[in-house]
Amino acid sequence: MLKVLSRRETGPIGLDVGSESIKALQLCRSAGKLWVAAAAHWQFPHNGSGSGTDAPGRMSLAVQAVRDMLKRGKFRGRDVVSCLRGEELDVRNVRLPQM
């Protein structure tokens, strides 16, 4: 992360989509120190059973929440970094013909 910030003043937006909430954070460098330039948090709604909404509904809520967070927050730029859990990631080697 520090290498990314050494090239520019404002870093990428860090996005954490969790099971309970979505969090976004962006750092900037000023006077040799790191500062929080923008931050936002959004909580998934829960129904009576505590299980939230179905998967398609949850995805739709998450997409809209991220859009709203980025619009309302003071985030700058379009670069985003995020993490995926192991079960959400599929890595494959693909060989492509030379063009």
In tens digits, the chain (99 residues) has pLDDT values of 455 555 558 999 999 988 899 999 999 998 889 999 999 999 998 765 445 567 788 889 999 999 999 999 899 998 999 987 777 777 788 888 887
73 assigned to some structural domain: yes
Task: Answer yes or no: are the C-beta atoms of 49 and 42 closer than 8 Å.
Answer: no
90 assigned to some structural domain: no
99 assigned to some structural domain: no
Of the candidates 17, 76, 77, the one whose C-alpha atom is nearest the C-alpha of residue 41 is 17
The domain tally of the chain equals: 1
- Domain hosting 34: range is 2-78
* pTM score of the predicted model: 0.71
Of the candidates 79, 61, 88, 87, the one whose C-alpha atom is nearest the C-alpha of residue 24 is 79
74 assigned to some structural domain: yes
